[in-house]
């Protein structure tokens, strides 16, 4: 049994996938699997899930079949895919869970020919207890994923609904696209923990969900020094306790100070961490640890030329944060995609502030039934990522106006009650963070009011937002469809210009030189940085993606401009930070 960190160089993405809830005994199932495309949805009728029935090809998991790294690189529409592999389990004394970082869209898992479970949703992590289906020795794992990118009730983010990529829609992702692993767990185990930090009295309240009954212990460390602990001889179910920390180290922007936690429950041991920070909206200010912070966010869509949705390595995930910080940004909108936990781990470590968003594009927001497509997975996302200090707010929707309509013909046909419901449920699930109901229009109820503005002329752009500081009027491209009521606000998409559109596109007129681009970047950015009524900005975007070539870096992460010049502009002190 391969337990713990693998040294097999044939296995991609070998790092532990969930660093905020880490166990010692695990088995990485990435690597070569049998594989078959099933566009006719006949695989179940052909009993492909049964033991010993071979599939016709192979794939390199966790990369999607559309990607080069998968070894398949099938770019056409795929409606269904099958995976199979054999694993050896020499010891079945532990409970065994199978985990998927993400698989798009409806996923069924079979163990030794028997259905173990089904999950709907293409972006969030899920797991199943397969203990009763596992036998000592060889076992066969089979996975079937079905997807329909064209369905108006299936969220697909920025996946293209045409054969080719176009506009701001890119190569599709089907099936498994994050790490698959087994975890070996004692009979009594810790199912979940939630952290509620209190920066005012240097304490942390922890809620834990325990499966079974046993002795429980939590030890908290900072730089190896024990700074707090809690223990009880007998615990079960939901327990909650507060630990006063003997050392105060605040998690701040650019300074990702993290406390390490070691949990023990019976024979179960879990390593974790948290950041001591709070976040709230106070009037028109974003406060982190009770201090005004200006969000220098960049739009990050998390696409990679060789892996599509999947970073080729853990280093590549962290590198995107480093590239962003190198040009002066302190965070990102994680746009139209739920990012994997390893990315959030690196954001936590770097003090990089991000908005947790959902890939709601592809859904028809005029249809009331759209809420059933997003709500279950959105709730799963909030549950999974609640403890990450890097996430300073939630945004379940983006541009929810009527689909497939030219701007001139857009009417407010979105189903407002669905937008409102997601906002209200988000606030119930997580009252500790602000929530934007929908980025860029149309707002129904929101903690932060944001607009998208791709005006390229700073002389036109700046006066639009000067009125906010002078008389409280916010420029809104859709004043007849939404109403600004004095909320904290920022321009959550701007810029997007390109040096060249020979093989793609950017917003506005193409700059003729690097100097012209930097001048435009400076004028637009300073208009927002110097506005005392803005909580932040979000520049479009970090990297080029296929035909959308308006990034500050190329698709393969090479700088397109003088990074020091950009950093100097973006990192200048903002008016709200005075």
Asked whether the beta carbons of 138 and 216 are under 8 A apart, the reply is: no
φ, ψ dihedrals at 17, nearest 5°:
-75, -15
Taking the C-alpha atoms of residue 550 and residue 560, their distance in angstroms, rounded to an integer, is 10
Residue 150, SS3?
coil
Mean pLDDT value of segment 80-101: 96
Which CATH code, of 3.30.2350.10, 2.60.120.260, 3.40.47.10, 3.20.20.70, is assigned to 26-185? 2.60.120.260
Asked whether the beta carbons of 352 and 256 are under 8 A apart, the reply is: yes
Round the average pLDDT of the chain to a whole number and report it. Answer: 95
Return the CATH fold of 189-277. Immunoglobulin-like (2.60.40)
Percent of the chain having pLDDT more than 90? Answer: 91
User: pLDDT-derived band of residue 3, with 50, 70 and 90 as boundaries?
Assistant: very low
Query: C-alpha angle 423/426/429, rounded to 5°?
Result: 155
Min mean pLDDT across 94-108, 401-415, 508-522 is at 401-415
- pLDDT tens sequence across 311-341: 999 999 999 999 999 999 999 999 999 999 9
Residue 400, SS3?
coil
Taking the C-alpha atoms of residue 317 and residue 302, their distance in angstroms, rounded to an integer, is 9
pLDDT at 503 over 90: no
- pLDDT tens sequence across 144-164: 999 999 999 999 999 999 999
Min mean pLDDT across 31-45, 363-377, 397-411 is at 397-411
Mean pLDDT value of segment 400-429: 79
Nearest in space to 15 (alpha carbons), one of 343, 302, 314, 273: 314
User: pLDDT-derived band of residue 52, with 50, 70 and 90 as boundaries?
Assistant: very high
Burial class (CB in 10 A: 0-12, 13-18, 19+), 289: middle
Mean pLDDT value of segment 283-287: 96
**Does the structural domain 297-577 have CATH classification 3.20.20.80?**
yes
Nearest in space to 545 (alpha carbons), one of 337, 279, 285: 337
Taking the C-alpha atoms of residue 416 and residue 443, their distance in angstroms, rounded to an integer, is 9
Cα–Cα distances in angstroms (integers) from residue 134 to residues 29, 49, 116, 190, 554, in the given order? 15, 15, 10, 22, 46
Domain ranges for the chain, please list them.
26-185, 189-277, 297-577
Min mean pLDDT across 46-55, 467-476, 496-505 is at 496-505
pLDDT at 410 over 70: no
Q: What number of CA atoms fall less than 13 Å from residue 11's CA on the CB side?
A: 17
pTM for this prediction: 0.96
Mean pLDDT value of segment 48-68: 98
Asked whether the beta carbons of 277 and 289 are under 8 A apart, the reply is: yes
- pLDDT tens sequence across 539-572: 999 999 999 999 999 999 999 999 999 999 999 9
Q: How many CB atoms lie within 10 A of CB 38?
A: 19
């Amino acid at each position: 049994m391969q337990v713990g960190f693998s040294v097999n160089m044939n296995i991609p993405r070998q790092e532990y996938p969930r660093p905020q809830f880490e166990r010692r005994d695990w088995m990485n199932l990435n690597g070569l699997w049998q594989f078959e495309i099933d566009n006719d949805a006949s695989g179940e009728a052909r009993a492909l899930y049964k033991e010993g029935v071979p599939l016709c090809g192979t794939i390199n998991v966790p990369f999607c079949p559309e990607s080069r790294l998968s070894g398949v690189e099938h770019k056409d529409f795929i409606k269904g895919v099958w995976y199979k592999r054999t694993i050896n389990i020499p010891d079945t004394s532990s409970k065994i869970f199978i985990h998927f970082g993400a698989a798009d869209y409806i996923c069924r898992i079979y163990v030794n020919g028997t259905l173990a479970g089904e999950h709907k949703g293409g972006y969030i992590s899920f797991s199943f207890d397969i203990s009763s289906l596992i036998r000592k020795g060889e076992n066969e794992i089979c996975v079937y994923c079905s997807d329909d990118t064209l369905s108006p009730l299936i969220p697909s983010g920025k996946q293209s609904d045409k054969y080719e990529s176009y506009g701001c829609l890119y190569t599709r992702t089907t099936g498994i696209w994050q790490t698959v692993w087994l975890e070996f767990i004692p009979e009594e185990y810790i199912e979940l923990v939630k952290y509620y930090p209190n920066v005012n009295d240097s304490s942390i309240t922890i809620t834990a969900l325990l499966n079974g009954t046993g002795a429980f212990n939590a030890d908290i460390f900072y730089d190896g020094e024990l700074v707090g602990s809690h223990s009880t001889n007998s615990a079960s179910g939901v327990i909650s306790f507060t630990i006063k920390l003997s050392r105060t180290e605040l998690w701040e922007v650019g300074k990702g100070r993290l406390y390490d936690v070691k949990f023990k429950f019976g024979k179960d041991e879990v390593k974790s961490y948290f950041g001591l920070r709070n976040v709230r909206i106070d009037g028109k200010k974003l406060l982190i640890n009770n201090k005004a912070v200006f969000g220098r966010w960049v739009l990050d869509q998390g696409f990679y030329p060789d892996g599509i949705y999947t970073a080729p390595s853990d280093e590549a995930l962290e590198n995107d944060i480093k590239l962003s910080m190198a040009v002066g940004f302190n965070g990102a909108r994680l746009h139209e995609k739920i990012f994997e936990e390893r990315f959030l781990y690196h954001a936590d470590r770097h003090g990089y502030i991000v908005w947790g968003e959902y890939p709601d594009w592809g859904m028809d927001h005029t249809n009331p039934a759209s809420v059933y497509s997003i709500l279950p997975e959105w709730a799963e996302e909030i549950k999974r990522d609640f403890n990450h200090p890097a996430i300073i707010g939630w945004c379940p929707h983006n541009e929810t106006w009527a689909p497939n309509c030219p701007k001139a013909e857009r009417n407010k046909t979105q189903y407002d009650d669905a937008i409102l419901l997601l906002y209200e449920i988000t606030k119930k699930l997580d009252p500790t963070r602000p929530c934007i109901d929908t980025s860029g229009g149309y707002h129904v109820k929101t903690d932060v009011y944001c607009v998208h503005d791709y005006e390229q002329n700073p002389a036109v752009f700046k006066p639009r937002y000067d009125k906010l500081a002078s008389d409280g009027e916010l420029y809104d491209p859709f004043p007849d469809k939404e109403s600004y009521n004095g909320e904290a606000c920022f321009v959550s998409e701007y810029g997007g210009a390109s040096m060249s559109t020979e093989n793609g596109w950017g917003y506005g007129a193409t700059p003729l030189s690097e100097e012209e681009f930097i001048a435009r970047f400076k004028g637009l950015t300073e208009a927002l940085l110097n506005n005392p009524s803005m909580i932040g900005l979000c520049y479009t975007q970090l990297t080029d993606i296929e035909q959308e070539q308006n990034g500050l870096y190329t698709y393969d992460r090479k700088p397109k401009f003088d990074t020091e010049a950009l950093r100097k502009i973006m990192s200048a002190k903002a008016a709200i930070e005075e």
